[in-house]
Amino acid sequence: MIHTDLLAWPSAGAGTEVLDGAGAPATDSRLEASTAVESPVGASAADSRLEPMPHENEAVLDVAGLSVTYPGAAAPAISDVDLRFAPGETLAIVGESGSGKSTTAAALTGLLPAGTRVEAATHSHLGEDLTSAKPRTWQRILGTGIAYVPQDAGAGLNPVRTIASALSETLAVNGYAKPQIRPRITEVLSAVGLDFELHGRRHPHELSGGQRQRVLIANAIAARPSLIIADEPTSALDATVAKQVLDVLSSLVAGSQTALVLITHDLGVAKERAAKLLVMQAGRIVEAGPTDRVLAEPRHAYTRSLLAAAPHLGWGRLRPNSGTAVPDPTGTEAVLAGRGLVRDFGGDRPAVNGLDIALRKGATVGIVGESGSGKTTSARILLGADRADAGEITLHGKPVGRYRRKDLGRRIRYVHQDSSAALDPHYSVERILTEPLRGHRIGTRADRPARVRELLDSVALEHSLLTRTPRELSGGQRQRLAIARALAVDPEVIILDEPVSALDVGVQAQILQLLVDLQARLGVAYLFISHDLAVIEQIADDVIVMKDGLAVESGPTARVLHESRHHYTRALIDAVPCFDDSAVRTIAADSGNTAGTAAHTSTTTDSTATAVEPTEPTGANHA
């Protein structure tokens, strides 16, 4: 059960603990904490300290005109950031990568790298001025006053120390005396749904991603901070797990005076969890206000473009830009098909267990599921990068074994999630696109430059990029390049493994549109893997829902999403954070071209599209 007094700040509810005073008046907490540890303070003394609640009307955080310039940078990473919130408030900061969200979080926690210039007209925590706080001051405030939940749960904990030892160290650092540490660990672990006996003695690698993220939350709340700053706490987690973690976080702050800053790229998370919303773009706050108001009546063009680009359930499949109708794939024969595919790595269950799949010309099959469900293993088997322990794979009705290895490599191509890892960092764009042509002896040496330029055109990249290396491209440009490389050899099937998961929503929408356009033009079959149902809905004609290696449900996308028969599919749908209500569609209709009842039109004017990412071409049509 939840301890509503768990954070107990600055209420007197948890007066039983000697150290409660440590959390309240930040100005003298270190001093009081240490004296309290040395000589146990009597109950009356503790009460008298807690009762006045001197900072009740003080803002937990008051920041005005905050700007941060990294060493060596010409322009500030964030500027003129104003923030003010009261105890118990929850605020969400949204924006795309590079918008300054994480820099803001780092500035609020004093975690900026050395040499960074921070300027602020006002910066105070519970009345204590932090405008030019020394490292020592931050060290005192962090943990007891301001706590931080980092983004990456996998790397956020020390791999060689147990959960309990990490938490006890945090408590010791924040002035908890030895006898109080163990009960407090038990308390905070149970608050996040973990058990001291069961989980406390484990190392991080022995916990799941969701459990690790909850340990990080437990670590943050351990010393009863008045403010928790959570930087993308659920971005690395599956939707259902993310929902649980967010539930923990919001229920922890709900009953207490602790304020929460939730930094996220996900508008759905913001809508569900925060009362106030702050939209950042290019280091500035472009819009702020109550979440419902901002999402319903966004005043800034950037907010509107964010809302328009954010994928969410109910949009239906994307239509190609050229206007040609989506070809009806049901009649056509399967290009690549797998029957009864099984792959067993020797765990307690097969990684893939009896998968049936058929990819048709000009159509897309989506595989959706959480991590560990067997999506990527299925893709690798179909690609030929891994063998199947049972089952048969056919290409145009013939077993793949009858094809030459190299021929298969030309007909079936792969696009990786992480484009920066999938492209050779030393190669120029031209060489990256020439390489597959040379490898498969396509065209003559003289023809290839023309073919490379044609490929660039087809993914809407400028010819001026030919001499660049992948590092000199944006994330969206890199993924376009990876797609162009896959297209270079005229494949029949492209397997796309989470191709847009690492991209911002605006870029994501553009890449999806590009894929749909290319498919309509070239008739290539896609296998599209994603953990994101909203993305799958936009691109897939058929969908396979995988869980624990099994295809629990499959069929036409619209049918599966709207009349799901399996409870797991419904759980996936429910877990998608949703800002979807009539307001969103109304806005789209106001600013845009057409909007049917369930239809949605997006990225309408040039100005909003440029706001998303200037270097990327615009366009995303939804049918």
Partner 1 sequence: MSLRYLASRLVQGLFVLWVAFTLSFFLLYWLPGDPIIAMLGAGGELQSYDSAEVARLRAEFHLDQPLIVQYLFALGDLLCFDLGTSIQAGTPVTEAIATALPSTLALAASALVIALVVGTAIAVAATLTRRPWLRDTLAALPGLGVALPTFWVGLMLLQIFSFRLPLLPAVGTGSPAAIVLPAVTLAIPLSAIIAQVLFRSLQNAWIHPFVTTFRASGYTRLRLLLRQALPVALLPALTMGGVLFGQALAGSVVVENVFSRQGLGRLAQTAVAGQDIPLVQGIVLFAAAVFVLVNLITDLSYPLLDPRLRDAGRTVEKKDSGTFAEAAGNEGARP
Stretch that binds partner 1, among 164-172, 308-316, 429-437, 443-451 (CB under 8 A): 164-172
Tell me how far apart the alpha carbons of residues 344 and 357 are, in angstroms, rounded to a whole number.
18
Nearer to partner 1 among residue 2 and residue 12 (C-beta) = 2
Select the span of 7-15, 417-425, 489-497, 571-579 touching partner 1 (CB under 8 A): 571-579
Alpha-carbon gap, residue 335 to 17, rounded angstroms: 68
Position 193 contacts partner 1 (CB under 8 A): yes
Query: What's the min distance (Å) between Cβ of 566 and partner 1?
Result: 11
| C-alpha triplet 611, 315, 379: angle, nearest 5° | 95
- Closest residue by Cα to residue 501 from 355, 319, 321, 368: 368
DSSP code for 325:
P
34 binds partner 1 (CB under 8 A): no
Q: Is 560 in the site for partner 1 (CB under 8 A)?
A: no
Q: Please return the burial class of 478, using the count of CB atoms within 10 Å of its CB with bins 0-12, 13-18 and 19+.
A: buried
State the nearest-atom distance from the C-beta of 230 to partner 1, in Å: 11
Where does 62-117 have alpha helices with state H? 101-108
Residue from 122, 180, 208, 610 touching partner 1 (CB under 8 A): that is 208
Q: Does 407 bind partner 1 (CB under 8 A)?
A: no
Among 2, 53, 358, 583, binds partner 1 (CB under 8 A): 2
195 is an interface residue for partner 1 by CB under 8 A: yes
Listed in sequence order, the residues at least 6 apart from 262 whose beta carbon sits closer than 8 Å to its beta carbon are 90, 91, 92, 93, 230, 233, 249, 269, 270, 273, 274
List the one residue from 87, 150, 338, 470 that touches partner 1 (CB under 8 A): 150
Q: Which amino acid is at 389?
A: D
Nearer to partner 1, 88 or 156 (CB): 156
Q: Does 282 bind partner 1 (CB under 8 A)?
A: no
- Given a contact cutoff of 8 angstroms between Cβ atoms, the answer to whether 284 and 100 are in contact is yes
- 435 sits near partner 1 (criterion: CB under 8 A): no
Site for partner 1 in 361-390 (CB under 8 A): 372
202 binds partner 1 (CB under 8 A): yes
Q: Is residue 570 a contact residue for partner 1 (CB under 8 A)?
A: yes
Binds partner 1 (CB under 8 A): choice among 205, 299, 396, 463: 205
Subset of residues 76 to 115 that bind partner 1, contact rule: CB under 8 A: 109, 111, 114
Q: Where are the strands (E) in 4-87, listed by range?
A: 61-69, 78-85
CB of 346 to partner 1, least distance (A): 14
* Residue of the chain from 447, 574, 581, 590 that contacts partner 1 (CB under 8 A): 574
| Alpha carbon distances (Å) from 204 to 161, 164, 193, 272 | 8, 11, 16, 29
CA 227-180-125 angle, to 5 degrees, is: 20
Integer Cα distance of 119 and 133 in angstroms: 11
* Nearest CA among 159, 164, 157, 172 for reference residue 200: 164
Q: Output the smallest distance, CB 151 to partner 1, in A.
A: 8
For residues 598 to 617, the per-residue mask of contacts with partner 1, x marking binding by CB under 8 A and - elsewhere, is --------------------
Number of residues that make up the chain: 623
Among 24, 120, 126, 166, binds partner 1 (CB under 8 A): 166
**Using rule CB under 8 A, residue 191 touches partner 1:** yes
* Residue with Cβ nearer partner 1 (266 or 613): 266
The order of strands in the sheet holding 493-497 is: 412-415, 493-497, 525-530, 364-369, 542-547, 550-556
Among 107, 223, 313, 495, binds partner 1 (CB under 8 A): 223
Among 129, 152, 292, 389, binds partner 1 (CB under 8 A): 152
Beta bridge partners of 142: 146
Say whether residue 460 binds partner 1 (CB under 8 A). no
- Could you give the CA distance from residue 109 to residue 112 in angstroms, rounded to a whole number? 8
- Spatial contact of 232 and 180, defined as CB atoms under 8 Å apart: no
DSSP 608-621: HHHHH-TTSPP---
CB atoms within 10 A of CB 75: 10
Number of residues that bind partner 1 (CB under 8 A): 65
Asked whether position 522 contacts partner 1 by CB under 8 A, the answer is no
The answer to whether residues 258 and 87 touch, using CB atoms and an 8 Å cutoff, is yes
Q: Is residue 134 within the footprint of partner 1 (CB under 8 A)?
A: no
Report yes or no: 210 and 241 within 8 Å, Cβ to Cβ: yes
Binder to partner 1 among 84, 182, 203, 440 (CB under 8 A)?
203
Check residue 170 for interaction with partner 1 (CB under 8 A).
Answer: yes
325 binds partner 1 (CB under 8 A): no
E strand spans, 470-521: 493-497
| Site residues, partner 1 (CB under 8 A) | 1-2, 109, 111, 114, 135, 139-144, 146-148, 150-152, 155-162, 166, 169-170, 173-174, 190-195, 202-203, 205-208, 210-211, 214, 216, 219-220, 222-223, 240-241, 243-244, 247-248, 251, 372, 567-568, 570-571, 574-575
